[in-house]
Structures are given as C-alpha cells and as structure tokens.
Structure 1
Amino acid sequence: MPELPEVETTRRGIATVIQGKIVRQFLVHEPRLRWPVPVSLPKWIEGQTVQSCERRGKYLLLHFEQGVQIIHLGMSGSLRRVALDEDRRKHDHAEWIFDEARFLLHDPRRFGAILWHAHSDGPLENHPLLRTLGVEPFDPLFTPEYLHRHLQGRRIVIKQALLSGKIVVGVGNIYASESLFLAGIHPELPAGEVSLHRCEKLHAAVLSTLQSALDSGGSTLRDYVNASGEPGAYFDIHANVYERAGKPCSRCTQPIKRIVQGQRATYYCSRCQRR
C-alpha cells in the first residue's frame, strides 16, 4: 500500500503542475472504487481552478473554491502524469485533464477513492475519513513527550499502536518495522510499557525513516510509481529488516525474523530488539 512517503512524493510531483491551473475535464471510467465516485463530481470541478494540493495522512486533497476533492491511492494505486494523447492502460479509472497536463489514477484492486467534501458540509477536518487521524509526523506537535503520553495505558503492542494512525499518521506497516528496528524496540512490546527514553529513540527513528523514504522517492515495493511514472528507491538503499526474513541483521548478523501481527507481516532482529 502506498504509505505517507509515497503519497507525499506524489503530491509534490503534481502540486507544482496543477496548482493554479484549471481542470478542463475530469473523466471517470470506472466509478466502482472503494466507495462509488460521486456522479456529479465532474461538473463540480470542471472549469474550476486548483487552489492548492495538500496531503493529510495518506489522503491527497485538491482544494477548489467550493470544496475539496479527496483522493486515496488504495492498496496498489498511483497517480501519474502522462502525455495528453497517451492511451489509457487497463485499470486507469479516472483522469484529470489540464491545458498542458494530464493525470491518470491507476488502481488495479479498486481499493482507492475519489470523494468530494463541499465547504458547505463543514470543516474538512471533520470529514469521517480525516477526523480520527493522529498528528502528522513532521508537525512540531509530534514530540517524544507527545508519543509517550499517548501510549500510556495502551495494552496493544507498539507495532499496532503505530499502525493505527490515531497517534501519528504515516507510520504504515513497512516503516513501522524499520522504525522499531532503529529504535531497538521489540514489535510485541505492549505500547504502555514503552518508556519516555525509548519514545525519544522511537520518535527519532520514525522521523529518520520517513525522511529517508521521502529523500528516495518512496519504496519499490509492489508496483508503486510516483507522479512521473517512476519507481522509488527506498528499499534498494535503506531497508534493514523489511522483507529480509532469514537474512543476517546489518548490525549483529543474527537472522531477521518474521511474525504476523494483525494479519500484517512484521520483521525484526531478536537480538537488537529484545523484549
């Protein structure tokens, strides 16, 4: 699934192209995504100017005068720029056409979404998909103290607490394993038992991991591509544990272990990440 670094990389790739530009056409070729694409959405945005392109968690937000288009890339989706006359590929379900640019939403599993939040419906942060999201990882509000405070009293394991997105957004399955490795924290440690000292290490590890992914343009897992149609390079360069089960730890040579938590694979070093 495209995580925060992939979505942010996509946002950066399209923002400089579409911000301040008019949507000449918005075409929906397959409305049956995770939630049906609103039938009236083309008429709401065609002829309108994109005021800004932002991100909240894993959601891309295209701001218009009357509302906000909310886009989610799903499990294996991408939003890429193509030539104005390029043929659509299979699983290209929607396209945004500007005077000098064209973007296609590619989503083989159709777990993505294209929704609309009118300003008349109230503040965007109150939208059902956004209102329970935690703080952004690079927000000054996200501190070791904040992390420690919000972990207190939680019985779930630390890996699941990070994945929930209710404390901090963007630390998805891939980056949670990597962050916990850098911090030396066992993924099965109860969240409420993570000390402030360890929260300081985990906070630094989360920021370092996500920044490395951003600098590398995201991951190369599955079929992720950025807004230019190019794969990221994060795991070619930085992966320490993810998808390295049985391979030697880069720190101690102990074989990396794989377990399943909440139906998601977790990778860790039993020596460097003791309980």
Structure 2
Amino acid sequence: MPELPEVETTRRKIEPLLAGRTILSLTHDGSPRYRDTHLAHGRRVSGLSRRGKYLMLHLAAAEAAEGDPHDLELIVHLGMTGGFRLEEGPHTRVTLTTDAGQLYFNDPRRFGKMAVVPAGEYGGMPTLLGMGPEPLSDEFREEEFARLAAQAGAVKPWLLSQKPVSGVGNIYADESLWRARIHPAQTRLAREEAGRLYHAIREVMHEAVEAGGSSLGDGMGNYRQHDGEAGAFQGRHAVYGQTGKPCPRCGTPIKKIVLGQRGTHFCPECQPLREGETSGDVQR
C-alpha cells in the first residue's frame, strides 16, 4: 500500500501538472468510492498538500455559488494499488480533465477513494480526522511520542493506527523498528526505546521520500510514479520483504510473523522481545 513517502512523491510529481489549472471534468465509473466529485468541475486547483497517506487538491472558485462553499478539497486515498498516470490504461477508474490536459487515476484492486468536501471538514473521514502529527514536522515531538509509547500495546499495530504519528504503514514501521532495535510486538516502550524509535521514524521517512518511495515486485499493483518511474527505497530495505535473508547488521536470518493481521519482518537477534512478554504471533 502506498505510504507517506509514496504519496508525498506523487504530490510533488503531479503538482506542476495541476496547480493553477481549472478542472473541466472528473469522470469515473459511478463507484460510491468516489463521492461528490462533480463539485470539482469548474474549480481551480490552488495547490496540493498531503496529510499522512491522504493527498489533497485545494479547489477555489472565482465566485462561490449560493449555498456552495468557496473553498473545497478533493481528498484522494490511493488505497492499495491506486496511482496517477499520464496515459489511460485497462485499470483507469477516474479521468481528471483540466484546461491543460488529462490525468488518469489507475487502481487495479479498486480500493482507492476520492471525495470532494468543504475545506477542512473531515467528519466523514475518521482516520484523517484523528491522525497524529506528521513525522517530518515540528509537531512530531519526541517527549510526547515517548509519553504515548509508554502506555501503548504492541508497538507495530500502535504505529499502524496512525494515532501516534501519521503516514507510517507496514513497510516503514518494519524498517523503523529494525533501526531502533525494537521487537514489533514490544509493549510499553521505555523512554530510551521510544527515543530511538522516534529518531528512526524520522530518518527512514526522510530517506524514503528522497528516494521516491518503494516499488515492490512487478505485478499490476506495483507502485509507480505518474510517469512510470519506480521508487528506489526498496533497495535499502533491511527487513521488509527480506524473509530468510541475513540481517545487514548481524547476519541472523530475517524472520516473518503475522502481527495484528499484518505481515511483519524483523531480526530476532537485533530485536529481541523483552523477557516475560509474548508476541502472540503467527509463524511464517
């Protein structure tokens, strides 16, 4: 699933194509996963931003119609396989036409979502509404993160909840926990453990964004940038998708378990579970 680095890369790449342009139409197959998209018609894209794994197109109108808010947002969640392309394909679900051309939203597995809402009104999107701070922002503070981590259950599912920090998904949780030397099922992190994890998250996210995210495998759901270019961070994965391969740090074979219904990769030597605790995992 595209996580923060992939969504941020998408934002950076398509913003020059959309910023300042007027949306002439936004057409799709009628799926309820695309809500109120007709409200974007005739709106000017004043800019693009991102919140966690959500992409936001800010829509402005020269004159607001009666009963119509002046500022709207087109909220896009890429789902598991969604992404924008320059050319239409067999899995195109949405066609966005502007006064400068067309951009296509492809989504083989159909988990992507779009919705046009009044700017800042996310009441129908509980995950977006309750999301924690951005990991690369000043709002992500080590002391607050450590306070919450001291009370948390299994650390990886806690990270994936998006509440302590936004945008961290399966790939980058595994990589951050490996760098911090913390077992994914560890609970109630000590202050020093939380500090290591805090800095690991910031480092991993920064590096992944600069590398354009991670592109895995060559299947139809593989993440690609709008022009077809792959991300490069997968070449730096220490544990994610590395089951059975030697740990880059100690040489121990990487192990995979299922934790919180998610495949989870870690080094059993570098990331030992605290004595007396159990992972409750399913072995793979």
Normalising to structure 1: TM-score of the pair?
Answer: 0.89
Which residue of structure 2 aligns with residue 106 of structure 1? 106
**How large is the Cα RMSD of the aligned pairs?**
1.5
Which residue of structure 2 aligns with residue 205 of structure 1? 200
**C-alpha separation in 2, matches of 1:89 and 1:213:** 27
Where do 4+ consecutive residues of structure 1 move more than 4 Å? Answer: none
State yes or no: 1:61 paired with 2:56.
yes
For 1:183-262, list aligned pairs within 5 A. 183-190=180-187, 192=188, 194-221=189-216, 222-236=221-235, 238-262=236-260
Q: Which runs of 5+ in 2 are unaligned?
A: 61-70, 274-284
Which residue of structure 2 aligns with residue 74 of structure 1? 79
| Per-residue Cα deviation, 1:145-181 (whole angstroms, up to 9, x for no partner) | 1211112322x20111111101101110111000000
**C-alpha separation in 1, matches of 2:6 and 2:136:** 15
The structure 1 residue matched to 2:166, chosen from 164, 169, 172, is 169
**C-alpha separation in 1, matches of 2:3 and 2:41:** 29
**C-alpha separation in 1, matches of 2:16 and 2:5:** 17
Is the 1:81–1:101 contact (alpha carbons within 8 Å) kept by the matching residues of 2? no
Normalising to structure 2: TM-score of the pair?
Answer: 0.86
- Gap change, CA 1:12 and 1:212, over 3 Å in 2: same
For 2:129, the aligned partner's letter is R
Is the 2:40–2:116 contact (alpha carbons within 8 Å) kept by the matching residues of 1? no
Which residue of structure 2 aligns with residue 47 of structure 1? 42
The structure 2 residue matched to 1:135, chosen from 129, 133, 138, is 133
TM-superposed CA distance for 1:112, in Å, is 0.7
**C-alpha separation in 2, matches of 1:158 and 1:36:** 31
TM-superposed CA distance for 1:73, in Å, is 0.7
For 2:204, the aligned partner's letter is T
Which residue of structure 1 aligns with residue 89 of structure 2? 89
Is the 1:144–1:196 contact (alpha carbons within 8 Å) kept by the matching residues of 2? no
Q: What is the DSSP-based 3-state SS (H/G/I as helix, E as strand, rest coil) of the residue aligned with 1:64?
A: strand
Q: Which runs of 5+ in 1 are unaligned?
A: 83-87
**C-alpha separation in 2, matches of 1:256 and 1:117:** 44
Is the 1:117–1:127 contact (alpha carbons within 8 Å) kept by the matching residues of 2? no
TM-superposed CA distance for 1:127, in Å, is 4.7
Q: What is the DSSP-based 3-state SS (H/G/I as helix, E as strand, rest coil) of the residue aligned with 1:50?
A: strand
**C-alpha separation in 2, matches of 1:18 and 1:80:** 13
**C-alpha separation in 2, matches of 1:135 and 1:265:** 25
For 1:41, the aligned partner's letter is T
**C-alpha separation in 2, matches of 1:106 and 1:189:** 38
Q: What is the DSSP-based 3-state SS (H/G/I as helix, E as strand, rest coil) of the residue aligned with 1:25?
A: strand
**Percent identical across equivalent pairs?**
38
| Per-residue Cα deviation, 1:104-147 (whole angstroms, up to 9, x for no partner) | 1111111110111124xxx4354534211111111212122121
**C-alpha separation in 2, matches of 1:128 and 1:90:** 29
